[in-house]
Each structure stands twice: as C-alpha cells, then as structure tokens.
Amino acid sequence: MKRLPIPLIALTVVLTACQTTTPTTTATAPTTMPPTAPSSTNTTTTTTTVPLAGSTTTTTTPTVTFTWLDVEGVEFPTNPQTVDELPSFMAAYLNAPMPRPDLTIHGPEDAERWVAEWLDWMAWLGANPDEGKDVVEVGWLLTGPQGQATRTGLQQQAESGTRSLGVPFYPISITGTFDELFDNRQILNLFIEVEDRVPAYTIDANGRIIDVRQLSDEQPTLRLVLRPNEEDQWLVEQIEVAG
C-alpha cells in the first residue's frame, strides 16, 4: 500500500510518515456498489393563496439537497479572487453548525451514504478549523497517526486564521470487504476509486482566496480502513492508496 499523498481537508497535511496497518486476516473480494448515488431529494409543501377565488391551493415543490457523490455539471473556478465566486454550497459551510453524520454501516447498502456523510463532515472541518479541531474524533480514530495529523493540521490552520473549502477526494466508485471481520465489528475496508475533480480553496479571514489546489489527471483507488466505536459509528483509522 502506498501512503496517501493528497492533503486531507485541503490542509496540506501530508501523511507520508504514518505507519501502514496490515490486517491479520485476508479480506474477501470487494462487494461492488453502484458508482455514484443521485442527489437526495427533500419535499417541501408550500401554500399559495389565490386572492380572486378567496381559496388556497397547496403545491409540492421538490428541493434538491447537495451531495459530494455527484458534482456533475458544477463549475469550479480555477482562479477566483473571493469566496463569493465559489459555488454557493461550498461557502455555505462557513460558520455553519457541524453536520451530524450517520456513520453507522450495517451492510453494503450503507457504503455510499457513509462516504457522502463523512465527506460532508470533512468539508465542514476545513471550513471551520477553530471548532473542527475539537471534534476530529467524530469521524477519525485519534489512536491512529492520521487522525492526530488531521487535528494538528486544523490547529495550525485555526492559528493562521485561514480556512479551506473542498473535500479530500471525489469518489466515482465504492466497494467494500463485507466479510466475517465486518460481521464481528472488527474492521471494514472501503476501496474508493477517485477523480481529482474538486479544487481545494484556501481563504483568509476576509474571504479572499489565497491559494487554489489545481486538479490533476490522477485516478487512484483509495483504501479506507474503518473500525467501529462504542456507538457503532465506523470511523477512519487510516487512508492509503491501494495497489
């Protein structure tokens, strides 16, 4: 396994010094999941008053909720000057309440949801490092070096007064080793093929863009090693480039 060379939460936290965890039991072949999931849709009901008839009619308006599993059609600027030039869903993370990700996994059908909610939470961490540095244990095992490195990177970012907008990777397919080790709540390996499709933007306290991590043509497969905590939330122990 190679070390993950890309930064987590766009903090330029390079995790090359972390030790590799080798499972003691051979995992089964990955269970194939669909490559992406469509954006989830919430339905809201609005009431419209019709003055002439003196009556009211009720209409149903679908509202699309953004998900990091599908950014098809989203334009990410390559040389923005301020946060106002970024897609609105990225700026919405700034000063927002922390998402409460559901990191439970009961089977292959939960893998895509887990990835989407973990990425949403990671995006919030980078956008709010001052608060994020104190809640890294929500999605990372702090007993591992990468969890500690993520917290250290957030602390450094908070001290510098900068924030980051983006995600550590963009998934295009997800597989997992749902074997007896998973059934025994010991370990789960998620293999995620990724594309470098989402730039990472670093902003200062005034909302100016001070750095943009440009995209590459790399398309590696990442191995996420997950272990459950006492609340049956599956947390990341480490991330590697599979191969």
Write down the pLDDT at residue 164.
97
pLDDT of 13? 35
Q: With cut-offs at 50, 70 and 90, classify the pLDDT of residue 243.
A: confident
Of the pLDDT bands very low, low, confident and very high (cuts 50, 70, 90), residue 215 is confident
Residue 78: inside a domain, yes or no? Answer: yes
Range of the domain at 13: 2-38+68-241
Domains of the chain: total:
1
Residue with tokens 């590697």: 240
Residue 110 — φ and ψ, nearest 5°? -95, -5
Most confident of 19-23, 49-53, 174-178: 174-178
Mean pLDDT value across the chain? 79
**Tokens, residue 140:** 């990372």
The more confidently predicted of residues 41 and 125 is 125
**Residue 24 banded pLDDT, cuts 50, 70, 90:** very low
Asked whether the predicted pLDDT for residue 47 surpasses 80, the reply is: no
Q: How confident is the model at residue 14 (pLDDT cuts 50, 70, 90)?
A: very low
Q: Two tokens at 226?
A: 């997950």
- Asked whether 137 and 236 are in contact (CB, 8 A), the reply is no
**Amino acid at the residue 4:** L
Query: Mind listing the pLDDT tens digit for each residue in 78-128?
Result: 999 999 999 999 999 999 999 999 999 999 999 999 999 999 999 999 999
218 falls in which pLDDT band (50, 70, 90)? confident
* Confidence (pTM): 0.77
CA distance 169 to 152: 20
Neighbours of 221 (CB within 10 A): 15
Q: Residue 51 falls within a domain, yes or no?
A: no
Tell me whether residue 27 is in a domain.
Answer: yes
Is 145 domain-assigned?
yes
Domain presence at residue 59: no
Report pLDDT digits (tens) over 143-152: 999 999 999 9
Question: What letters, b where the CB count within 10 A reaches 16 and e where it falls short, cover 6-18?
Answer: bbbbbbbbebeeb
pLDDT of residue 65: 63
Asked whether residue 55 is assigned to any structural domain, the reply reads no
33 in any annotated domain: yes
